[in-house]
Amino acid sequence: MERYWNEEIETMSREDMKKLQSERLVKQVKHVYENVKYYRDLMDEKGIKPEDIKSTDDLCKLPFLSKADLREAYPYGLLAKPLSECVRIHSTSGTTGKRVVAFYTQNDVDLWQDCCARAITAAGGTKDDICQVCYGYGLFTGGAGLDGGSHKVGCLTLPMSSGNTERQITFMRDLGATIICCTPSYAAYIGETLHDMGLTPDDIQLKAGIFGAEPWTEEMRRSIEKSLGIKAYDIYGLTETSGPGVAFECSEQSGMHINEDNFIPEIINPETGEVLPEGEVGELVFTSITKEAFPLLRYRTRDLCVLSRKKCSCGRTLIKMTKPMGRSDDMMIIRGVNVFPSQIETVLIEQGYSPNYLIEVDRVNNSDTLDISVEMKTDQLSDKVKDMQQQERDLATAIRMMLGISPKVHLVTPKSITRSEGKAVRVIDKRKLHDKI
Ligand code: DLL
């Protein structure tokens, strides 16, 4: 029987959860309106007063908030508490513009760690576990979030951060780590390194992994589970909503339960902003109803997924989200066709290739090109050029069947694609570079 971290909340009836969310929402809207000029202006512009929000049914009256708003309000414009009550910040990497800085009161930190504790418990973690945290520590939320959750559960916490992979494995073996937390691409790399060190999953004690911060496919899950001898659980979150722990997977491993007592999810049509019914694919929007220092109302995540209230075998009643299928801004339009990197990854792993690949998109003579470099496994290498060319053609055909457009596939030698210790970079879209010039 699965254990819960907070049984009352995690198995609460729909009606009770709605009541709790409504009470918290009303309070939060008032807090934000009174304390954040940026919001007050946005709401005034729409002619909305806090009194107009009486329950979650009124959520749709509130304006959306986007990453562009966060950038405009950088750094203190959305702060809802005096700085003297804030105890820490975290921040996005800011690779595509100004960083987003999120603020936390002590209460915000406690609630965040609580969400991560739920995730660790759902993955089978207890105070008897040894939890190796190899997400990056520092401004990134991964290390601090899972570290805090692990402490709360009472696991012996190994604050490794990412990198130095052989040392990770040595520690893992020497101390007998039972749970590992990192990005899925780093987990795949650790599995590969374990093998290269002449070790097998039997040489380590790991039983579960909590992986997130980037998209990964079911095929990738199976490949990691096999290489490390574990059950691999997904975890989702973003800096703007505290970090990891907004949603987490349970033993059913079929989507992530959203911590609805803290975050109200909606799915919208990214083009029109229309709220979509349960079961439809759209952009995930979150309203944080418990955060004090940096509460976001109707924040557009740009992540595309589906929500479901189907009964879960774990007993949790918290709504579930599917794995994000990609971000609305990750989607590439190649020769008019919508392409997500995850579709390509699915084919590669299904066809027996490694999850190490690089997608390059360019525009030559006004026509889009799609080149995919895929690393071979050692047993896929062949001395015969003809054989290799046939393998490339076969893989290109399989990808064309999935996408509807033909890529150029380049099989490359094992270990020639740079490994990731954090979030993997899998796409280089040179068209964007040209556009910027
Ligand atoms: O990645 C927080 C996090 C840390 C989540 C550790 C899970 C584990 P950011 O750096 O702000 O925060 O990036 C947030 O990463 O909008 C998604 O696009 C993506 N993302 C996060 N988790 C998942 C996941 C952290 N499980 C952005 N699957 C989000 C797919 C994910 N994408």
- Which residue segment(s) compose the domain that 389 sits in? 332-436
State whether the beta carbon of 301 lies less than 6 angstroms from ligand 1. yes
The 10s digit of each residue's pLDDT in 369-395 is: 999 999 998 888 888 889 999 999 999
**pTM, two decimal places:** 0.91
State whether the beta carbon of 234 lies less than 6 angstroms from ligand 1. yes
Domain match, 353 and 212 both = no
Domain match, 320 and 358 both = no
Which of 329, 348, 379 is the last residue before a domain boundary?
329
User: Residue 154, Cα to own-chain centre: how many angstroms?
Assistant: 24
Domain match, 314 and 416 both = no
Which of 329, 361, 379 is the last residue before a domain boundary?
329
Q: How many CB atoms neighbour CB 18 within 10 A?
A: 16
CATH code, domain carrying 337 = 3.30.300.30
State whether the beta carbon of 184 lies less than 6 angstroms from ligand 1. no
Number of domains in the chain: 2
Name the closest-CA residue to atom 20, ligand 1.
213
Q: In the 3-class helix/strand/coil scheme, how is 367-411 assigned residue by residue?
A: EEEEEEEEECCHHHCCCCHHHHHHHHHHHHHHHHHHHCCCCEEEE
Ligand 1 centre distance from Cα of residue 199 (Å):
30
Domain match, 284 and 354 both = no
State whether the beta carbon of 215 lies less than 6 angstroms from ligand 1. yes
Ligand 1 centre distance from Cα of residue 183 (Å):
9
Domain match, 213 and 281 both = yes
Q: What is the DSSP string of 195-221?
A: HHTT--GGGS---EEEEESS---HHHH
Domain match, 191 and 210 both = yes
The 10s digit of each residue's pLDDT in 173-226 is: 999 999 999 999 999 999 999 999 999 999 999 999 999 999 899 999 999 999
Query: Which residues partner with 233 through β-bridges?
Result: 210
Beta strand spans in 109-149 (E) = 130-133
Ligand 1 centre distance from Cα of residue 187 (Å):
15
Span between the terminal Cα atoms of the chain, in Å: 58
Measured CA to CA, the distance from residue 68 to residue 100 in angstroms comes to 10
Domain match, 405 and 427 both = yes
The 10s digit of each residue's pLDDT in 76-122 is: 999 999 999 999 999 987 655 678 899 999 999 999 999 999 999 99
Which of 329, 352, 379 is the last residue before a domain boundary?
329
* Residue 65 pLDDT > 80: yes
